[in-house]
């Protein structure tokens, strides 16, 4: 039965995806700090950095939205782990009843209805797992779109940094930091999307 092997690979895939998501969560918590730092620097620079301050404020909002989106991914991973574990449990039960089915006909007849029920349940859980993966891919696409807006903001921050007068160098450094962080999130998520598409 394909379900058996699918269960094992499903758990491995969930664990792998979860590791990538955890990595993004770690990085994204940095965006908030960098954006906050950018806002403070912009405030110190006064009127000359007004544009940079606006972008920094938007970046903080982006960071909050990213957090919420990543939490959504985390919840989907939780569902996947739960369903993959349920499948593993069904798989074990299936295996035990399959062993009973190796006995003679008079014994098999008692196990057949139970085996059919276990297989029906495996079918239901398999469908749930498939829907979980679908929802995960959709959510991932939403996060990637969000990251696109984050990248635009980081580019805007770089442009606004040029108008920062004597604070321009510091603002450029902060803008580069933001760009680097957002790029790292983006490339990790893109890689994850590629893996999930396999």
Give the residue with the Cβ less far from other proteins, 38 or 111.
Answer: 111
3-state secondary structure 50-114: HHHHHHHHHHHHHHHHHHHHHHHHHHHHHHHHHHHHHHHHHHHHHHHHHHHCCCCHHHHHHHHHH
Please name which of 198, 139, 92, 22 lies closest in space to residue 84, comparing C-alpha atoms. Answer: 92
Point out which span in 72-80, 93-101, 124-132, 155-163 binds other proteins (CB under 8 A). 93-101
In whole angstroms, give the CA distance from residue 46 to residue 40: 10
Q: Is 150 helix (H, G, I), strand (E, B) or coil?
A: helix
For position 173 contacting other proteins by CB under 8 A, the verdict is: no
Point out which span in 21-29, 57-65, 92-100, 179-187 binds other proteins (CB under 8 A). 92-100
Give the residue with the Cβ less far from other proteins, 64 or 89.
Answer: 89
Output the smallest distance, CB 161 to other proteins, in A: 58
Residues in 96-125 that interact with other proteins by CB under 8 A: 96-97, 99-100, 103-104, 106-107, 110-111, 114, 117-118
Output the smallest distance, CB 85 to other proteins, in A: 13
In whole angstroms, give the CA distance from residue 36 to residue 41: 9
72-107 burial: b if 16+ Cβ within 10 Å, else e = bbeebbebbbebbebbbebbebbeebeeeeeeeeee
For position 89 contacting other proteins by CB under 8 A, the verdict is: yes
Give the residue with the Cβ less far from other proteins, 3 or 100.
Answer: 100
Give the residue with the Cβ less far from other proteins, 31 or 84.
Answer: 84
Binding site for other proteins (CB under 8 A): 89, 92-93, 96-97, 99-100, 103-104, 106-107, 110-111, 114, 117-118
């Amino acid at each position: 039965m394909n379900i058996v092997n699918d269960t094992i690979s499903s758990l491995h895939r969930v664990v792998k995806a979860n590791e990538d998501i955890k990595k993004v969560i770690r990085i994204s918590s940095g965006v908030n700090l960098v954006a906050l730092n950018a806002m403070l620097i912009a405030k110190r620079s006064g009127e000359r950095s007004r544009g940079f301050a606006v972008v920094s404020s938007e970046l903080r909002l982006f960071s909050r939205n990213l957090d919420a989106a990543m939490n959504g991914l985390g919840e989907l991973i939780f569902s996947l782990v739960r369903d993959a574990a349920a499948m593993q449990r069904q798989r074990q039960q299936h295996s035990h009843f399959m062993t009973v089915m190796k006995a003679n006909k008079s014994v098999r007849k008692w196990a057949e209805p139970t085996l059919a029920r276990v297989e029906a349940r495996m079918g239901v859980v398999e469908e749930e797992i498939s829907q979980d993966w679908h929802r995960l891919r959709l959510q991932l696409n939403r996060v990637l779109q969000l990251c696109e807006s984050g990248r635009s903001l980081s580019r805007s921050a770089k442009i606004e940094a040029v108008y920062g007068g004597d604070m321009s160098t510091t603002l450029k450094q902060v803008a580069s930091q933001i760009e680097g962080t957002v790029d790292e999130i983006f490339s990790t998520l893109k890689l994850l999307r590629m893996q999930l598409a396999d």
